[in-house]
Amino acid sequence: MDDKLEIITRNAEEVVTEEEMRELIAIKKDPVCYCGYETSGDVHLGHLVTMSKLKDMEKAGFKVKVLFADWHTWLNRKGNWEWIHEQTSIWEETFKAFGLKSSEYVLGSSFERSLEYIDDVFNLSLDTTINRALRSMQVIARDIEHARVSQVLYPFLQIVDIKYLGVDVAIGGIEQRKIHMLGRELSSKIDYKPFVCLHTPLISSLTGPGDKMSSSKPESMISVRDQESAIKEKINKAYCPVGVKEENPLLQIARLILFPKITGPFEIKRSEKYGGNVEFDSYDSLERAYLSKEVHPMDLKKSVIDYLVEIISEIRSI
């Protein structure tokens, strides 16, 4: 039990609630978790955070379902129907190349057009004010002041998805929290059990504080399609102040993507003039060394580049 909980909760921002999670894995043989993705633009490092967590859930004995939310993407005005489905195929190949080969991949529109599903969406809309629906979308919609009615429907679809996929644990970045909390509150309205929520941290923009990585801002993120030269250029320009942890994307990448993925210690290669090579068996030890200024930002950047190039090259080669 403790080993499973450690795997499930590592690098998580929060679990709502840990007591419910503990009860779930104690009584259910094959619990189901899911994460939904808008297939808009390239898969980037921000997505690899939740993908890493899905791999953790597999290790802990969960059945993993990945929802490619084509209808949500369209309703959120992220692309036309043909382009969205072209992206969906690319995304599935990318997820499998990352190691999620045994997951179940589900296309949202394959079940979201049923009469029962639509009835549940309408039932939720009867019990939710427009202001509440808008608040739940604040981090999801690009321009909340000019949100369309289609975007206000988005939270209801996401909640009903959880029912129709038979989900025990809903996984998402911390920006999904308001929608998940609305879903926990309203699940009984559509005759579904309360579900557990697991939220992961966000990776800050490469360009500096105040924003997250986003496919709509290419300079803010690293895509799995980026070539080695682009990765080097972006990382070398990235915000990474000496001895600072807050909103430092390089430390976040190391913690949330590299350490869960690599085998063996995290190595920083440097000349003897600057202390020689050094290895870290855990992220915490790397963070302590960085905050105490034993590791310089340029040394950290060089190692992150090396590991990222290797990981992304493996994904692209499949």
The mean pLDDT value for 123-134 works out to 87
Position 140 pLDDT exceeds 60: no
pLDDT for res 47: 95
pLDDT for res 311: 94
Residue 262: both structure tokens together: 């690599």
Tell me what percent of the residues of the chain surpass a pLDDT of 90: 80
Q: What is the 3-state secondary structure (H, E, C) of the chain?
A: CHHHHHHHHCCCCEEECHHHHHHHHHHCCCCEEEEEECCCCCCEHHHHHHHHHHHHHHHCCCEEEEEECHHHHHHCCCCCHHHHHHHHHHHHHHHHHHCCCCCEEEEHHHCCCCHHHHHHHHHHHHCCCHHHHHHHCCCCCCCHHHCCHHHHHHHHHHHHHHHHCCCCEEEEEHHHHHHHHHHHHHHHHHCCCCCEEEEECCCECCCCCCCECECCEHHHCCECCCCHHHHHHHHHHCCCCCCCCCCCHHHHHHHHHHHHHCCCCEEECCCHHHCCCEEECCHHHHHHHHHCCCCCHHHHHHHHHHHHHHHHHHHHHC
Tens of pLDDT along 99-110? 999 999 999 999
Determine contact, residues 185/4, Cβ cutoff 8 Å.
Answer: no
Topology given in CATH for the domain delimited by 218-317: Tyrosyl-Transfer RNA Synthetase (1.10.240)
d(CA 292, CA 275): 14
The mean pLDDT value for 223-241 works out to 96
pLDDT for res 142: 57
Q: Which of 47-56, 112-121, 131-140 is predicted with the least confidence, judged by mean pLDDT?
A: 131-140
Model pTM score: 0.92
pLDDT for res 241: 97
The mean pLDDT value for 237-257 works out to 97
pLDDT for res 144: 62
Task: Give 220: exposed, middle or buried? Use CB within 10 Å, 0-12, 13-18, 19+.
Answer: buried
Mean confidence (pLDDT) of the chain: 92
Topology given in CATH for the domain delimited by 2-200: Rossmann fold (3.40.50)
pLDDT for res 37: 95
d(CA 140, CA 113): 23
- The better pLDDT of the pair 14, 41 is held by 14
Tens of pLDDT along 64-80? 999 999 998 888 778 89
What is the residue extent of each domain of the chain? 2-200, 218-317
- The better pLDDT of the pair 22, 216 is held by 22
Position 139 pLDDT exceeds 70: no
Q: Which residue has the tokens 């980026």?
A: 226
The mean pLDDT value for 206-226 works out to 91
User: Which contacts (CB < 8 Å, 24+ apart) does range 146-149 have?
Assistant: 148/77
Confidence of residue 41 (pLDDT cuts 50, 70, 90): confident
Residue 65: strand pairing partners: 34, 104
Position 160 pLDDT exceeds 70: yes
